[in-house]
Structure 1
Amino acid sequence: METKENWYDQSQINPNAKNAGKGFKDEGRDPWKHRSSGMQCRTCMFYVRKKNASEVAGSAEIGRCKRNAPTMDGYPVVFPTDWCGSHKLDEEKLLCG
């Protein structure tokens, strides 16, 4: 019987892998660590930057996430450096900076 500890075995995916037979938990590293830097709200197609945020002195840049339908309070407020699992890359935002 397989335990939850061993559910991700690299040898099942690529038997010729350098660390075949070792799961990521055994290696002590996070395979998703590097992805959070490129998958931030600022590059997401659902992120809409608040236009007048720069007019208010001392305010940080904020925006709204329009991934899901709005609640009674409107769309959720997010920072451009936030990220989630529903990120969809917007090529126009990536190219324009």
Structure 2
Amino acid sequence: MCETVNEKPNNAIPNVGRAIPKAPDPWAGRGVKMRCLSCMWFVEKREAVGRCRRHAPTMSGYPVVFNTDWCGDHKLNEEVVT
């Protein structure tokens, strides 16, 4: 006598072949007011280009950044923003 195994049909597995909705990006729009140009760590060298002095320099110096870049280490420079 043989026993048969009850198999689940393919439609019993949840979310197979269906698109999973994406969660909203918590960082969307965060960089709008946190540009390098308004950061206390930014030192402008030429038009639109400067150096970020947030962390210690490496062998190649401080990182080169554009004044429109942004990062999570931004700290508002009160002398630049009016």
Regarding TM over 0.5, the answer is yes
What are the equivalent positions in structure 2 for 1:25-36 lying under 5 Å apart? Answer: 28-36=23-31
Q: Any unmatched runs of 5+ in structure 1? A: 1-25, 55-60
Question: Hey, what's the Cα distance between the residues in 2 that align with 1:93 and 1:87?
Answer: 13
Q: Secondary structure at the match of 1:42?
A: helix
Question: Hey, what's the Cα distance between the residues in 2 that align with 1:81 and 1:29?
Answer: 24
Residue type matched to 2:53 in 1?
K
What is the aligned partner in structure 1 of residue 5 from structure 2?
A: none
Q: CA RMSD in A?
A: 1.6
Q: What percent identity do the matched residue pairs reach?
A: 55
Q: Any unmatched runs of 5+ in structure 2? A: 1-20
What is the aligned partner in structure 2 of residue 90 from structure 1?
A: 77
1:39 deviates by 0.6
Largest Rg, 1 or 2:
2
Per the normalisation by structure 2, the TM-score is 0.66
Structure number with higher relative contact order (C-alpha < 8 Å, ≥ 6 residues apart): 2
Runs of at least 4 residues off by over 4 Å: none
What is the aligned partner in structure 2 of residue 41 from structure 1?
A: 36
Deviations 1:30-54 (Å, cap 9, x if unpaired)? Answer: 232122110111111000000xx24
Report how many aligned residue pairs link the two structures: 62
Q: Secondary structure at the match of 1:92?
A: coil
What is the aligned partner in structure 2 of residue 68 from structure 1?
A: 55
Residue type matched to 1:38 in 2?
K
Question: Hey, what's the Cα distance between the residues in 2 that align with 1:46 and 1:37?
Answer: 17
What is the aligned partner in structure 2 of residue 79 from structure 1?
A: 66
Higher strand share: 2
Deviations 1:63-83 (Å, cap 9, x if unpaired)? Answer: 000001111111110001111
Per the normalisation by structure 1, the TM-score is 0.57
